[in-house]
Amino acid sequence: MTEQFKLYNPTVMDHFLNPRNMGDIVDADAVGQVGSAVCGDIMKISLKIENGRIIDAKFKTFGCGSAIASSSIATELIKGKTIKEALALTNRQVVDALGGLPPAKIHCSVLAEDAIKAALVDYLKKHPELAAEMNIKLEEITNKNNNHSQEHSESGAA
């Protein structure tokens, strides 16, 4: 194993080398994309939602091994969850599920959280009655995502 891979634990390596849920959902109910080519990481999450529950989640990620692993585990974490449960997912939960990430790669877990929330905002914008019924304020979610994205690009993280 090369020196650079020694930074990563076996769970991160497994999700990097054998990513789960990679690809697109052709008839997705929701799509969210975050990141920028400038910093080097772009994540796109697509979701299939039935009766307020995520029945499928897929991702396409352009980025480092930590970004791919974060996307993979995040999609695993939200499958079967309700919209509200998925909105509660934090980057810390992504890091914990991976068994940790090097400090310089924590931003990848933030992108995974933000991509999922962007997809859920996309869905709730198409179904405003659900957002109202669940007492979800889309602007609050969007503002948090924008703050994360701004912090990510200011850190120059890749």
- Length of the chain, in residues: 158
One-letter identity of residue 42 = I
Which spans in the chain are helix H?
A: 10-17, 65-78, 83-87, 91-98, 106-126, 128-133, 138-155
User: What amino acid positions are annotated as catalytic residues?
Assistant: 39, 108
Sheet holding 30-36, edge to edge: 30-36, 41-50, 53-62
